[in-house]
Amino acid sequence: MESLENGYDTYCTPEIFSQGQWQLLSIARAAVTEPQMLLFDEITVNLDAETEKEVLQALKRVAKDRTVISVSHRTSAEPGRIITIA
């Protein structure tokens, strides 16, 4: 954000970010509000493997003392509790 012309005052639109960047921004905006519950659907679908790892580590930190539900089709996702829906 700092590299954009208006920095943090830049009006965010999908046109100025890649899908992965937009996804990271959305995750950060959701987490920073400190809700009691976070619900994510395919949270890392547009991210590369390294960024996915970093996001999931950060998500563990923000998950403390709140409920986090994350829907994923990736079998490599590190679960807390798995609920299989067939």
Amino acid (1-letter code) at residue 46 = N
- pLDDT value for 1: 61
Task: Give the chain's largest Cα–Cα span.
Answer: 48
Tell the CATH topology of 7-71. Answer: Rossmann fold (3.40.50)
pLDDT digits (tens, 9 = 90+) for 44-57: 888 888 988 888 88
How many other CB atoms are found less than 10 A from the CB of residue 46?
15
Express the helix, strand and coil content of the chain in percent, nearest 5 each.
40, 10, 50
pTM for the whole thing?
0.67
The residue among 55, 66, 62, 34 whose CA lies nearest residue 78 is 55
Amino acid (1-letter code) at residue 12 = C
For the chain, the domains span 7-71
* pLDDT, mean of residues 38-65: 85
**The two three-digit tokens of residue 82, written as one number:** 């798995």
